[in-house]
Amino acid sequence: MNDRRNILILGAGISGQETARWAVRQGFGVKVSDIKPLETWLQDFCAWCRENAVEMEAGGHSIEELERFDLVVVSPGIDLNIDVIKAAKRGQIPVVGELFLAASLWQGPILAITGTNGKTTTTKLVGEILQHMGVRHVVAGNIGSPLISVVNETKNAVAVLEVSSFQLDTFLNIPVLGLPMPRFHAFAILNIAPDHLDRYAGFYEYAASKARGVNYLKPGAKPVVHGELVLLFKELGWNLSSYATFGMSFVGETGALIKEGFIEVHGISGIERYDTGRWRLKGRHNLENLAAAILLVRTLYEQEQARAGIEAAIAAFEPPAHRLQFVAEGGGVAFYDDSKATNVAAVHTALAALDRPVILIAGGRGKGEAYDSLREWAQKGRVKAVVTMGEESEAIACSFSDACPVHRLTEMTSGVLAMEQAVQKAISLANPGDVVLLAPACASFDLFSSYKERGDVFQKAVKRLLAGVGHGA
């Protein structure tokens, strides 16, 4: 560590809180700044700040006295173009995210996973494989606890990290605080589809953000990428000399090939086969997630160590909540919650995984995407009807116009009432053999605090209405 002992933390959410706790333990002077009023901060954290002489700044980020800080740690949700970050960079103060700092501190192997869709499922699956293997590990990053909250408690454990593009944007190409640069033992890119176009200048800038993680691989390590991404990498100028691929077709010398009833791994120790007969997750995309998870684990462990854990996880793994999660069936109609489908590509994936006619519930806060490509599902007869809600209700409705019946909701003040109306309308449109699918194609923040809350509200509405109990309009 160097002589300057002050850290500015932007964002008083969970990652900011845990970064502050770590920094205080290390003897740093700490300031936490958030645009939200102080009364909205977690009061237990405020009390801790007062007890530990941590400065608190609420209602905005000042740029005065920035020169006294030798590091700025920014929460993933904060736009990197705000004035205080620009000023810090002009003053040559490093700006990093909590995950970059924590990964610099981590002493064990790191397996990192990114992608537009499937990150959480794959990350949890890798964790479950390691659990069945008896390997000490933590699952962190974009899910679970911030990694920095456990860096002092789990030395030499494996860190399995879900990594978002926002987090990768705050990975620097220089070390900070005298720490070593983060190094991933393996880095997987599951897929890249348009997303967060409200934050990036376009698809290629977003894709380049995802690909940045390759820079942090340990020497000699191969990135694990979907075979269809190899061409995209070349377009981005990422002419990788070697990689491990996964998917329905084989690219390169090392990879996991999805076949009927099994996954075949090549190029690590001959040919290995893993039976998928007991795999319970729907859809090709989840087989791809499984193939990526197997490759990640096999990059770190020999087949003799890993096989039993992989096979046990295949048989036992349950889909994470709100990711094409089966909710209930009533009157021959099945209900699925895919609230995590917050972009158009994820909705395509969900619809491809279902083999029954769908009444689609969609809408929320847009990310700058167009929805016209979803119209093909109605034209093919796979989407029978669409119920739209939230800020993007009209835009999505227009994309399906004349292709299938579309019902726009007018209730915009309450997420609970809006969702109940949406489910009620979907039930009225469904016949035995159909599916009612919540796959919003949008963020949740117009009516809900998170995709999790939106999914929970959907599930409760389904169960109430199937039981014949409703809140009314």
Question: What string of pLDDT tens digits covers the 473 residues of the chain?
Answer: 445 589 999 999 999 999 999 999 999 999 999 999 999 999 999 999 999 999 999 999 999 999 999 999 999 889 999 999 999 999 999 999 999 999 999 999 999 999 988 999 999 999 999 999 999 999 999 888 899 999 987 778 999 999 999 999 999 999 999 999 999 999 999 998 877 777 888 888 888 888 889 999 999 898 999 988 888 877 777 666 678 999 987 777 789 999 999 999 998 888 999 999 999 998 899 999 999 999 999 999 999 999 999 999 999 998 889 999 999 999 999 999 999 999 999 999 999 999 899 999 999 999 999 999 999 999 999 999 999 999 999 999 999 988 999 999 976 678 999 999 999 999 999 999 999 999 999 999 999 999 999 999 999 999 999 987 544 43
pLDDT of res. 196:
79
Distant-in-sequence, close-in-space partners of 397: CB < 8 Å, separation ≥ 6: 386, 388, 406, 408
Q: Where are the beta strands (DSSP E) in 260-316?
A: 262-266, 271-275
The span from the CA of 232 to the CA of 227, in Å, is 10
Question: Where in the chain is CATH 3.90.190.20?
Answer: 325-466
What single-letter amino acid sits at 58? A
The secondary structure of 330-395 as a DSSP string is ETTEEEEE-TT--SHHHHHHHHHH--S-EEEEE-SB--S---GGGHHHHHTTSEEEEEE-STTHHH
Output the CA torsion sign for 409, 415, 421, 427. Answer: positive
The span from the CA of 48 to the CA of 32, in Å, is 12
Superfamily of segment(s) 6-93? NAD(P)-binding Rossmann-like Domain (3.40.50.720)
pLDDT of res. 211:
87
The span from the CA of 433 to the CA of 449, in Å, is 33
Distant-in-sequence, close-in-space partners of 63: CB < 8 Å, separation ≥ 6: 83, 84, 87
The span from the CA of 210 to the CA of 226, in Å, is 13
The span from the CA of 373 to the CA of 469, in Å, is 36
The span from the CA of 4 to the CA of 68, in Å, is 8
pLDDT of res. 241:
65
Residue 17: name the closest of 1, 30, 26 by CA: 30
CATH number 3.90.190.20 given to 325-466: yes
The three-state secondary structure class of 473 is coil
- Measured in whole angstroms, the distance separating CA 472 from the mean position of its chain's CA atoms is 34
pLDDT of res. 2:
43
The span from the CA of 109 to the CA of 111, in Å, is 7
Torsion angle of the four alpha carbons 144, 133, 215, 75, in this order, in degrees rounded to the nearest 10 = 10
Residue 361: name the closest of 285, 281, 424, 453 by CA: 424
Q: At what angle do helices 344-353 and 284-300 cross, to 10 degrees?
A: 110
pLDDT of res. 240:
65
The secondary structure of 293-339 as a DSSP string is HHHHHHHHS-HHHHHHHHHHHHHH--PPTTSSEEEEEETTEEEEE-T
Residue 225: name the closest of 245, 211, 250 by CA: 245
At residue 427, φ and ψ (nearest 5 deg) are: -60, -40
Query: What size, in residues, is the chain?
Result: 473
Give yes or no for a contact between 35 and 59, defined as CB atoms under 8 angstroms apart: yes
Residue 469: name the closest of 420, 436, 426 by CA: 420
At residue 230, φ and ψ (nearest 5 deg) are: -60, -45
Question: Where in the chain is CATH 3.40.1190.10?
Answer: 99-316
Question: Where in the chain is CATH 3.40.50.720?
Answer: 6-93
The span from the CA of 151 to the CA of 172, in Å, is 20
Just give the CATH number of 99-316: 3.40.1190.10
Distant-in-sequence, close-in-space partners of 81: CB < 8 Å, separation ≥ 6: none
pLDDT of res. 473:
36
